[in-house]
Amino acid sequence: MPEQTNTENADSRLKSISSKSERHGLEENLEVKKENSEEGGLFFEDAEKIKQYNSHPPLKILYEDNHLIAVYKPFGMPSQDDISGDLSVNTWLKFYLKKTYDKGGNVYLAQLHRIDRPVGGVLIFGKTSKAAGRMSEMFKEKKLVKSYLAVTENIPAVKSGTLEHFLIKLIGKNIVKAFNHAVPDSKKCILNYETLKTSGSRALVKVIPITGRQHQIRVQLSAIGCPITGDVKYGCKRPNPDGCIALLSSVLEFEHPVTHKPVKIEANPPEDSIWSDFR
């Protein structure tokens, strides 16, 4: 039996959708075409992704030009596709760009960095290979300033300062452990913090990570007795109702990789009870 082509696969996927109106929505809203599904392109072989996109609320675009696009990543939404199969920001943006700019071919979109799934805020992508390459170097060389806001369960004993720890990822677990001194296979991590406001036993803390280790902010704040609200993985006693944590990627500042003009992208905290005490 001959191997089924990408085009035939796309056809069969669409035919498998029983609802005529649903099929029309896929073809009309996204202008589905018969073309190969290559790296950087859309997912014509996955009708479920198309349905997820059509049913998902639009993401807030924080910044866009010919080279870059930044969105407000919703709390709980993955930055890129993972084993959950849930719609990711990366996939949503590819559909968005294809639909908005009537792109007939593949959509180029470079994932420049990631934010943990239970975290929200500024997430930026490259729309051109030139911008993506230069931005990747800027991330690597730490030529960007990333600021976060966190609501912590306790108030830091020292209002502001620098935290230095050594982190180890626990084998077989998606969790890291912080030490005050170097241990075998550990990686040094540094962040600056400032307590902006307090409310009862909680604090609103601004954090600027100097290094970019996995779960760095979460584990370092926990290490000083101030776990992030809702972060049961790192010491908070109770989860938040939505399963997310009170950590926001609030500001990203950098020199534009092409125009060389200064860029500052900001995201405001969500309007819920956890953050409302600090408005």
Per-residue model confidence (pLDDT) at position 11 = 38
Does 26 score more than 60 pLDDT? no
All residues at 6 or more sequence positions from 102 whose CB lies less than 8 Å from its CB, including other chains: 31
**pLDDT value at 48 more than 60:** yes
Q: Say how many CA atoms lie within 13 Å of 158 toward its Cβ.
A: 8
pTM over the 0.75 mark: yes
- How many Cβ atoms are within 10 Å of 142's Cβ, its own excluded? 12
Q: What is the pLDDT of residue 10?
A: 37
**In the chain, what are the domain boundaries?**
1-55, 145-276
Give the pLDDT confidence of 106-130 residue by residue, as tens digits: 889 999 999 999 999 999 999 999 9
Query: Quick one: pLDDT at residue 35?
Result: 33
Type and span of the H or E element at 22: helix 20-30
Residue 37 predicted with pLDDT over 90? no
> Spelled out in words, what is the top-level CATH class assigned to the domain 145-276?
alpha beta
End-to-end CA distance of the chain: 65
Q: What does 31-96 look like in DSSP terms, one character per residue?
A: --------TTS--TT-HHHHHHHHHSPPPPEEEE-SSEEEEEEPTT--SS--TT-PPPHHHHHHHH
Span 49-68, pLDDT tens digits: 888 888 899 999 999 999 99
